[in-house]
Amino acid sequence: SVCKTSQTPFILFFQLVWLGINVFLFVHFYLAFLVERYYYTRVILGHALSWARAPAACLNFNCMLILLPVCRNLLSFLRGSIQYCSRTAARQLDRNLTFHKLVAYMIALHTAIHIIAHLFNFERFMDSQLMINSSYLPYVLSQIGNNDNRSYLNPIRTNETNIEGMRRMMFTTIAGLTGVVITLALILIITSSMEVIRRSYFEVFWFTHHLFIVFFIGLVLHGVGRIVRGQTIESVKVHKPDECHSRFEDWGKNGTDCPEPVFAGNPPMTWKWVVGPMILYVCERLVRFYRSQQKVVITKVVMHPSKTLELQMKKKGFKMEVGQYVFMQCPSISQLEWHPFTLTSAPEEDHLSVHIRIVGDWTQALYTACGGDKTVVQDAWTLPKVAVDGPFGTASEDVFRYEVVMLVGAGIGVTPFASVLKSVWYKHVQENKNVFTKKIYFYWLCPETQAFEWFADLLQSLERQMMEKDMSDFLSYNIYLTRWKDAEAAHFRVQYEAEDDPITGLKQKTRYGKPNWDNEFSAIATQHPGSKVGVFLCGPTALATALGKQCISHTESGTEFIFNKENF
């Protein structure tokens, strides 16, 4: 028995390739600075030189990657091209933000190693300059270039104290100043990306994240000072370090075969890694700006009781598929902020719609602008202007490829299933030959009664239409209330005998607690022997693990459960 989660091997392979490239670059550049050309640099710095340069190479690679996962329009283009060959590969592009975070963690790790190594390097550069001893090779190497300042090895050119030298190094050199700036920018970006800040203070997260502009400018300029220096190739040919290092007192004297070594800095390389992604990202922002200027008309505003705002809109040329999302901007609230929302409309409808829970400053401002706090109907011309960018994400057309489908939504994870349920119904009514779905089992787990209200409207509409067409067996829905108060429980008991459910108004009664998944899977396997059952979840990882195990254990007797963890 198998549970088909074909995305996992692909993701694992991709991550292993990425980690492998990081390991290769680290080892390659570590060894690259153990060669003869950097012999004298290592005399002063030891292996701290390689420990600084190896993570720098990995930083270049990861900084090249960090912008690509947030180029939404580029990903949409790639997704559309790839899915003709492999829908599984196309679906992996929806994990772009996960990869973006992994790359960010890798950047933070290599930055820390790079900084620590350079702190050791600074101390050793300083010590070799302060230890005045003409028989001490690091001191002799530090004095080279004192006269003309053209060919030097030690970038610290004075014998000031450690504190004064560090201050001069950090704030008067290009490498030091840009290093401080990009480190501070990175710290602010990472700390403000913590989930608690991102969810509670989105504006803080959004604005500090744009310090990436400062970060990349500093990154490109960081190597311009050529602070890491080594012997020139021409100098190595006439001055062999392994032969001449012990005769440093005779360097440059007449009759010696060891002329004074000549040193030079490495040319900056970072720009070669990041210029391509930077150009792509600039193009991405230009495309977003162009799309934000296209007219969007709000045709209907629905205020649901649970402080959920439904916006129905029209945009010329807009095409969508189930499971996709858009980014919305309201210029009257903020000219800069864009927020993602799952589309709850179906492709067969003549409009696009989103359901927005009022949970933050931006959504509260939108709620107020749309008249959510007013009792009178708003005139169309008083509604705020909005911009829509998208749609993005892989279409969840896999739902239509199964005869039997299980849809499992947890909490707000039910939102994308609004689009799925409506589209499946439309296709079924229109007798679309590309749709094989004959039965849908829908499960919704919700912790509070208020959250049922807006989605119950959709279910009531579907229930009514199915009864009119004598197709009430097409959709079986099971709604679970996972938390409730004693007073609510008493009220529900009194109302339980009523024809309609006291919470949702549906014929099907709400259940309390959590589903017994073992019983549910067994019942479906018994009901549909020999069928392939598509299991689609939009919910937390713990629930995904539980359903994945159920798929494996119940794939028997010809019934095959195929698990899909959706990324809406």
pLDDT score, position 100: 92
Among 567, 401, 562, which Cα is nearest to 6's?
Answer: 562
Q: Name the residue among 253, 252, 247 with its Cα closest to residue 235.
A: 252
d(CA 18, CA 66): 12
**Structure confidence at residue 184 (pLDDT):** 95
CA angle 22, 26, 28 (to 5 degrees): 115
Read off the pTM. 0.79
Q: Which residues contact 387 (CB under 8 A, 6 or more apart)?
A: 291, 292, 293, 294, 296, 328, 329, 330, 331
Task: DSSP letter for 556, please.
Answer: B
Rounded Cα distance, 23 and 27, in Å: 6
How high is the pLDDT of residue 26? Answer: 96
Q: Mean pLDDT per segment of 10 residues, for the chain of length 568 residues? A: 46 89 96 91 91 94 94 82 65 80 95 93 85 81 74 76 65 84 94 84 85 93 86 89 85 81 88 93 90 87 79 89 86 85 87 85 86 73 86 73 84 77 77 74 77 68 73 78 60 52 56 83 86 83 84 78 68
Which pLDDT score is estimated for 451?
59
Which pLDDT score is estimated for 568?
Answer: 43
Rounded distance, CA 290 to CA 544, Å? Answer: 39
Residue 553 one-letter amino acid: S
Query: For residue 452, what pLDDT is reported?
Result: 55
pLDDT (0 to 100) of residue 528: 85
Whether the CB-CB separation of 93 and 394 falls below 8 Å is answered with yes
Which ranges constitute the DSSP H helices of 391-431?
Answer: 415-429
Q: Are 108 and 63 in contact (CB under 8 A)?
A: no
Find residue 314's DSSP bridge partners. Answer: 297
pLDDT of res. 6: 41
Q: Are strands 532-538 and 404-410 parallel, antiparallel or unpaired?
A: parallel
253's tokens: 């004297």
Report the candidate in 316, 483, 491, 296 with the shortest Cα–Cα distance to residue 385. Answer: 296
Q: Write down the residue that tokens 């339980």 correspond to.
A: 496
**Cα 202 from Cα 334, distance rounded (Å):** 13
Tokens of 439: 């039965």
Distances (CA, A) of 144 to 156, 265, 484, 491, 501: 12, 14, 78, 89, 88
